[in-house]
Structure 1
Amino acid sequence: MEPTKLQSEGGLNVTLTIRLLMHGKEVGSIIGKKGETVKKMREESGARINISEGNCPERIVTITGPTDTIFKAFAMIAYKFEEDIINSMSNSPATSKPPVTLRLVVPASQCGSLIGKGGSKIKEMRESTGAQVQVAGDMLPNSTERAVTISGTPEAIIQCVKQICVVMLESPPKGATIPYRPKPASTPVIFSGGQAYTIQGQYAIPHPDQLTKLHQLAMQQTPFTPLGQTTPAFPGLDASPPASTHELSIPNDLIGCIIGRQGTKINEIRQMSGAQIKIANAMEGSSERQITITGTPANISLAQYLINARFRDVAAMWNDPASMTAS
């Protein structure tokens, strides 16, 4: 079969969608002040550029259009990233310019064609474009897609993307593709007055997580004392605040995740917080277990924080059963 030729002038009038995985900082650079940069990219390239919503450390940028518009959009993104690198270098002592790096998200069923027999295709791409190309060995979480990382000069990246588009057009994905959706940032969850909060920067903001109910149930009697604020006037000056005791109830079916295998998790929390933590025996007819935490207000605060963090980790595993074995 004769390979498809793509010319940048005119190009093939084939509509294609390419997905990119970007960090928040990169997305900010593409959007620009008041969305001006992405608006300019859309207008000048003619491609549709969509950016996934959500408070995630990673975002998906989808570029759709005839192949020639996609190449123009890629060129603009690659040159913008190069500009960002040059600007960041003006404040640093580094002399060698790091390469521009883009991460494509490609259905796993197409990755074999990108790699080629015995790695022949990917080797040919590297040699003919001068770009570094790597296909991730594992699929991205909860998806049937893999990350393909391209790095090099903007010119090398553009040539490489053209070759990848040819392969993707010649070898369409097989079967259904489960697209990768980045997860929201897993920020610590803290409880106060029965409400869950996440910490962003220096602020605690109400946390609308669907697991709040689970946390509230477990933490309903847990007011949170911010670390270091045990003495309002001069935190930290009072060398030995009096020991106090705090009690909370945790449902029986959740106590295991706090104790951990052979008590590993609870011992970890004891060591890290410096608090004494006692778990009462199960009472007949009761669906809850009493936990008593004793120590300075800061110790107690840290113990509660670590217990919350443990619930967060377990909740995340419930959402992602594949990671269950890791805990």
Structure 2
Amino acid sequence: METTKIQPGGGLNVTLTIRLLMHGKEVGSIIGKKGETVKKMREESGARINISEGNCPERIVTITGPTDTIFKAFAMIAYKFEEDIINSMSNSPATSKPPVTLRLVVPASQCGSLIGKGGSKIKEMRESTGAQVQVAGDMLPNSTERAVTISGTPEAIIQCVKQVCVVMLESPPKGATIPYRPKPASTPVIFSGGQAYTIQGQYAIPHPDQLTKLHQLAMQQTPFTPLGQTTPAFPGLDTSSPASTHELTIPNDLIGCIIGRQGTKINEIRQMSGAQIKIANAMEGSSERQITITGTPANISLAQYLINARLTSEVTGMGTL
């Protein structure tokens, strides 16, 4: 990671590096078709914009350059995210527009200056820019950096980023900074239908990235018949889809491998899929238990896939995942 180079003569127009943490979907929006959007952002802002490699649910976007170019790049990113929000709203009945949110990655040693004594600095930033600013309490895994979340209108975000830059220039990081690197998808751990999957943080990531196939795969791999309506295949992981419900029945003697000791496995599946999962109590005289999964089609198919993976590993003796 580059260090801040303060040019002779001071002033705000110094070279600075700001790191942003983005989800894969956000990164896709910034890159654009065939990389056109990021190319345009680089050309129009004059900032260097690098996107971390790797098949990860999170990526780091590094913006480097004189501060005026950084602000231009930030403005373009904020307006692009707002455009994405407006586009996603045109398909939904929601009337209130959610704010644009950016996550900065800041060395923990600079976070104290951002917060200020008794929270005075962060309060001043919120009041003067109208943006919401939150500094994460914990450091990001395997690093000495924290996430700073800024949300609001693009204009408020740009003003807020300017103030954050001033603080970062006035209070350089102390000691060595271990930068946060999102974990790349590790070696495949599940093979299903000729497709490899990896468990990554809180997500099950198809490897390579074939999220659209995940749903059909989950349906093909079902070793039991789902009740009720099956959700249609969905385009990508669209979390804005309305919530729906899906029901499965599981043989009693296999329910234990899904619940896990003290509910550990079912909790993992809930966390990874983002779906709500309810397991009905055993019915007298019935050899099956009903599982109800609620969430977006994407959440449901991930939950189904993970339940199926647990069953498959139990039945084929692949051991625990």
Same fold by TM (over 0.5)?
yes
Deviates more, 1:240-249 or 1:60-69: 240-249
1:11–1:68 contact (8 Å) kept in structure 2: no
Deviation at 1:211, TM superposition (A): 23
Deviation at 1:190, TM superposition (A): 2.2
Runs of 4+ in 1 over 4 A off after TM superposition: 1-11, 185-188, 191-311, 319-327
1:191–1:224 contact (8 Å) kept in structure 2: no
1:59–1:324: structure 2 CA closer, same or farther, 3 Å change rule? farther
Counterpart position of 2:268:
268
1:296–1:88: structure 2 CA closer, same or farther, 3 Å change rule? closer
Deviation at 1:183, TM superposition (A): 1.4
Instruction: Please give the alpha-carbon distance, in whole angstroms, between the structure 2 residues aligned to 1:309 and 1:55.
Output: 21
Bigger radius of gyration among the two: 1
2:314–2:320 contact (8 Å) kept in structure 1: no
The DSSP-based 3-state class of the residue aligned with 2:190 is: strand
Deviates more, 1:250-259 or 1:116-125: 250-259
The alignment covers a number of residue pairs equal to 320
1:224–1:301 contact (8 Å) kept in structure 2: no
1:222–1:31: structure 2 CA closer, same or farther, 3 Å change rule? closer
What is the CA RMSD across the aligned residues, in angstroms? 11.3
1:189–1:40: structure 2 CA closer, same or farther, 3 Å change rule? same
Deviations 1:135-165 (A, max 9, x none): 0000001110000000000000000000000
Deviates more, 1:27-36 or 1:300-309: 300-309
Deviation at 1:184, TM superposition (A): 2.8
Deviations 1:5-42 (A, max 9, x none): 99999973310000000011100110011111000000
Unaligned 5+ runs, structure 2 = none
Deviates more, 1:164-173 or 1:8-17: 8-17
Aligned residues with identical type, % of pairs: 95
1:234–1:141: structure 2 CA closer, same or farther, 3 Å change rule? closer
Deviations 1:250-292 (A, max 9, x none): 9999999999989998999999999999999999999999999
Unaligned 5+ runs, structure 1 = 312-318
2:102–2:151 contact (8 Å) kept in structure 1: yes
Counterpart position of 2:31:
31
Deviation at 1:248, TM superposition (A): 28
2:214–2:301 contact (8 Å) kept in structure 1: no
1:256–1:107: structure 2 CA closer, same or farther, 3 Å change rule? farther
1:22–1:59 contact (8 Å) kept in structure 2: yes
2:46–2:69 contact (8 Å) kept in structure 1: yes
Deviates more, 1:297-306 or 1:106-115: 297-306
Deviates more, 1:248-257 or 1:34-43: 248-257
1:24–1:208: structure 2 CA closer, same or farther, 3 Å change rule? closer
Deviates more, 1:113-122 or 1:180-189: 180-189
Counterpart position of 2:104:
104
Instruction: Please give the alpha-carbon distance, in whole angstroms, between the structure 2 residues aligned to 1:44 and 1:191.
Output: 44
Instruction: Please give the alpha-carbon distance, in whole angstroms, between the structure 1 residues aligned to 2:94 and 2:231.
Output: 45
The DSSP-based 3-state class of the residue aligned with 1:196 is: strand
1:182–1:325: structure 2 CA closer, same or farther, 3 Å change rule? farther
2:204–2:302 contact (8 Å) kept in structure 1: no
1:142–1:9: structure 2 CA closer, same or farther, 3 Å change rule? same
Deviation at 1:113, TM superposition (A): 0.1
2:245–2:293 contact (8 Å) kept in structure 1: yes
1:209–1:223: structure 2 CA closer, same or farther, 3 Å change rule? farther
The DSSP-based 3-state class of the residue aligned with 2:318 is: helix
1:230–1:298 contact (8 Å) kept in structure 2: no
> What is the 5 A alignment of 1:1-327?
12-185=12-185, 189-191=189-191, 198=198
Instruction: Please give the alpha-carbon distance, in whole angstroms, between the structure 2 residues aligned to 1:214 and 1:91.
Output: 23
1:206–1:239: structure 2 CA closer, same or farther, 3 Å change rule? closer
1:147–1:8: structure 2 CA closer, same or farther, 3 Å change rule? farther
Deviates more, 1:204-213 or 1:142-151: 204-213
Instruction: Please give the alpha-carbon distance, in whole angstroms, between the structure 2 residues aligned to 1:151 and 1:293.
Output: 31
Instruction: Please give the alpha-carbon distance, in whole angstroms, between the structure 2 residues aligned to 1:104 and 1:69.
Output: 17
1:42–1:258: structure 2 CA closer, same or farther, 3 Å change rule? same
1:50–1:283: structure 2 CA closer, same or farther, 3 Å change rule? same
The DSSP-based 3-state class of the residue aligned with 1:324 is: coil
1:6–1:166 contact (8 Å) kept in structure 2: no
Deviation at 1:205, TM superposition (A): 11
